A and B are shown apart, each in its own frame.
Chain A
């Protein structure tokens, strides 16, 4: 599989117990199921719609960050979680889609005029929507058939858009809050560190010889 082609030369690291990938999806959807269950039973506080909306968005960001930690974990600590990266990325997309769906249906009540005005006039909504649009082709090509069709290099280039999505996601978070509370800034710092690591490495490491996708 092309997604794993680059692991060939990696050092043998900690042996991570092999969990079936389906388990990542099952565990990954626990927060969503729990949130909807609590929401339907009116246990999400005084403003349950807003709580659900924000919590789903936060989980999207968390899974996006998790997918971005796979490479540094492998390169720095020889922990190889590559086989779970697709699941983490897709979970980020699914949570982003649920977050968007709550915004469109429950928050705005499908008021298309209000939604359109939001997208045009509110930078944090514009950025959030752009982030979702960026994530969509990545989710659609997160399968073996798409990798084969695009070719490994083109696929990898396309999937570098995840860096833009990560920046968009944290900007969306930072811009929606009043003043400068710590939480969005912590997420922003994590994303900056993960992207900064890649930038620094691209300067210091000689490009490795191209490998052909399998």
Chain B
């Protein structure tokens, strides 16, 4: 991991104790490298992250294959300390380094007809030990998506680092999405493609179990996962064996900034 210089952002959550670097980098869901939480840290080193191109296509004025450095170079890196709530019921506080996704979107000039942004993770069986399983865990490649206004929201970032250094592979190097008011699985890792589309794009977990994982996946303590409650969460690194559950906050505590995006929507239906 190489050092990155970043300015502190006023959008950071500053009243929270950071989760340790060790926990952030050894407890991961990145199923392309295995389903155990420890697997990505053990296996993801095989992913070649340089050179890395991100293909930008679809309803956009400047479609191109951008080197990841070129995609972000016109923005200055910011440190964004965000809560991260996993759909499984645990959470962390992570000091990301990244740029607003909105910066990139404005630069590539989407057309007026583009209503959604779709993302795709690399799919490289030779470099990803977990994609060639007897029963595929997901329909690879991993895909995710956001509504345009969600993608343009100032809290939404493309992260390239954490704890002041470039991202470790298991955390989604070289570039990943972070949407702090949504469950962690929306934060697609190792992005190779960003497409601007008119219709709501397919998303991996929704394809896998549509009754359990919706397109929106906003953190919501009042809407349970069909198999477990979402009312509380365990903060990783807090209390060891005697970890105390803490109440999960609406929109993961970012309601003031994002609730207006969903005005009038039935969040039980659009989960």
**Which residues of A are in contact with B by a Cβ distance under 8 Å?**
39-40, 42, 44-50, 52, 106, 108-109, 111, 114, 117-118, 121-124, 175-182, 185
A118–B225 Cα gap in the complex (Å)? 12
B38 interface hit (Cβ, 8 Å): yes
Query: Are the CB atoms of A48 and B240 closer together than 8 Å?
Result: yes
Chain A residues, Cβ within 8 Å of B234: 47, 49-50
Q: A118-B229, A122-B227, A123-B227 are in contact. Are A46 and B240 (CB under 8 A)?
A: no
The residue from A40, A109, A118, A175 contacting B245, defined by CB atoms under 8 A apart: A109
Q: Are A122 and B37 in contact (CB under 8 A)?
A: no
Q: Does A46 lie within 8 Å of B27, measured CB to CB?
A: yes
**Residues from chain A with Cβ under 8 Å of B241 in the complex:** 39-40, 42, 44, 48-49, 52, 106
CB-CB under 8 A from B206, the residues of chain A are: none
- Docked complex Cα distance between A187 and B97 (Å): 42
Secondary structure at chain A's binding surface: helix, strand, loop or mixed? helix
Contact B26 A45 (CB under 8 A): yes
- A180 CA to B31 CA, complexed, in Å: 11
Asked whether, in the complex, the Cβ of B137 is within 8 Å of the Cβ of A117, the reply is no
Residues B27 and A45 in contact, CB atoms below 8 Å apart:
yes
| B229 and A180 form a contact (CB under 8 A) | no
Do A185 and B244 have beta carbons less than 8 Å apart? Answer: no
Report Cα–Cα, A179/B90, bound state, in Å: 18
Contact B134–A46 (Cβ < 8 Å): no
Complex CA gap A40/B229 in Å reads 27
Q: Are B208 and A46 in contact (CB under 8 A)?
A: no
Q: Which residues of A contact B240 (CB under 8 A)?
A: 39, 42, 48-49
Residues of A contacting B227 in the complex (Cβ-Cβ under 8 angstroms): 122-124, 175-176
A47 touches B27 (CB 8 A): yes
By a CB distance below 8 angstroms, the chain B residues around A49 are 234, 240-243
Q: Point out the residues of chain B lying under 8 angstroms from A123, CB to CB.
A: 227
- B7 contacts A by Cβ under 8 Å: no
